[in-house]
Structure 1
Amino acid sequence: MKHFLFILTLFLVISGLGQAQSLEKLYTEPGYPYGELVRRSEQVRLSYHPKGQQISCSAEIHQGDRSWRGQRQLIDARDFDKAPFEACLDRGEAKAILGQLVSQS
């Protein structure tokens, strides 16, 4: 296999009336900036809410005592199924967060 997949540990938070959080492992392709962001972070969390054929989602990245939250996105459900992290965090935001992670190490 040409590319190895990084395992993401993601907490998928489903809003609603007292629904419990579930832990699920998802995969992302290695590379810039998403694979590097996962590698350098302690935790990546996706928060999502289905809205028909679309999904409202955002990503949170945690490292040490710092955390970053991407802007909430309204995306197509197929894009979320294919690559949830990439769909929920804008590439420009991912690059900016990665830059901050690199500068603090």
Structure 2
Amino acid sequence: MNEPQQTNFFLPVLLIALALVVWFGFQARQLNQERAQLASLRSNQDSTYTNAQKMRAQLDSLAAGTQKLASAGNKNAQTVVNALQQRGITINAEAKPAQAQ
């Protein structure tokens, strides 16, 4: 009389699987867009980084020259070197310039 009704799980499982595929596709697309934006930001900063490296090399060269003058007895250069040492900045006159990466 009352026969147990057989349930069909195909449609709910199909909908869940479809939702997962759509969700993973959306996440993959978002991650690819963010990756492209990060690559763009990095390429925009390359010129600034290169200029900063050049300026650092010039500053190191200037500081090394000042240190050499101070070692040779120049009073003004000794004053500058002493002021830098008081601020915790040490100058290595024999240091080779850093290579660009």
Q: Normalised by the size of structure 1, how large is the TM-score?
A: 0.19
Please identify which structure carries the higher helix content.
Answer: 2
TM-score where L is the length of structure 2: 0.19
Q: Which structure shows the higher strand fraction?
A: 1
